[in-house]
Each structure stands twice: as C-alpha cells, then as structure tokens.
Structure 1
Amino acid sequence: MPDIKLGRLPDRTPVKVTIHILPELQRSLLDYAQYYAEAYGREEPITDLVPAMLTAFLASDPSFLKRTKGKSNASI
C-alpha cells in the first residue's frame, strides 16, 4: 500500500436506474423543481434533483445509518 494520506477514491461511474412513478409524484417533483428554481435562481432537471433528494433522505434516516454504519459499501 502506498504511503499516501488520501485513500483510493471509490467508483464514481454513474449507474442508470429506471423507475415508474405515479402521476401525482411526477407533479410533485415538477413542483419541487420549480420551488428549487425559485429558491436558488437556477433551474435543475428532475433527473439531477432526484439523486440528491435520495442521498439526503438516506443520510437523514437514523435507523438506516445505524444499520449501515461500519459496512464498507455504505457511501452516503
């Protein structure tokens, strides 16, 4: 192992996931994207917002964090 302080970076290759959502959720996501644009003065596509939303959700779930603590594949 090299004597370097920064460890090897994890795999950052995007993984495509396809889901089906109900129309009500689609409307809510569109509304949220509009709210985001109003708040930050910058429009972002839902496809960029959803991964950030999921990451924030998982990072804020204490039970999930407790369960994944110590697992090497937990990357949140």
Structure 2
Amino acid sequence: MTKLRISTIPDSRPVKLTIELPAEIHRDLLLYAELVSGSAGEAADAIPDAARLVPLMVGRFMETDRAFQKQRRGRKPALAGRMTGVGD
C-alpha cells in the first residue's frame, strides 16, 4: 500500500476560552460589532454577537505582529508533528 503524506487529520475543533474583559474594552468591542454590521443606531438584536469578533481580532493581531512571526518561524511547536501527520 502507498504511504500517504497525510496520515492523520489534524484536530480542528474550536477550543473554548473564558476570559474577563475590562468594561471599557467590552464597550469598545460591542461598538466595533455594531460598526462592522453597519447597524449603528439599530435594535440590539440586529447587531452580531461581539464574541464572534474576538477570534478574528486575535488572529489578525498575531498575523501582523512582526516579532511574533519572527519567533514563530524560528521554532517548531511541540505538537506540530502530531497535529499535521506529515512525515509519519
């Protein structure tokens, strides 16, 4: 049988985190969600869930942090081989 390059499917299930935000950041997050939806001044139920923005914001922050990206390229995560299944 041919050995496949990908032997396992990586775990791509979301990981739930519970965090506490300062009130000012929470207010700004709600405002950001309102502005993203283009619903400024509309009913609160028309505004998307602000929590859905957090993963996008954190991801974008890490993508644009040059120091983080430089450090990331220089090291391999401990689970990298197990998560990708490449080379197994």
Q: Over aligned residues, Cα RMSD in angstroms?
A: 2.6
1:29-48 correspondence runs (5 A):
29-38=29-38, 43-48=47-52
**Deviation string for 1:7-54 (max 9, x for gaps)?**
455321111100111110110000100110018xx8431121100110
> How many positions carry a matched residue from both structures?
70
Match of 1:12 in 2: 12
The higher relative CO (CA closer than 8 Å, separation ≥ 6) is in: 2
> CA, structure 1 residues 71+35, in 2 after alignment: closer, same or farther (shift >3 Å)?
same
Q: Is it true that 1:71 corresponds to 2:71 in the alignment?
A: no
Q: Is 1:51 aligned to residue 55 of structure 2?
A: yes
Instruction: Report the equivalent of 2:86.
Output: none
- The TM-score, its normalising length taken from structure 2, stands at 0.65
- The 1:46–1:9 alpha-carbon spacing in structure 2 relative to 1, beyond 3 Å, is farther
Percent identity over paired residues: 33
Larger radius of gyration: 2
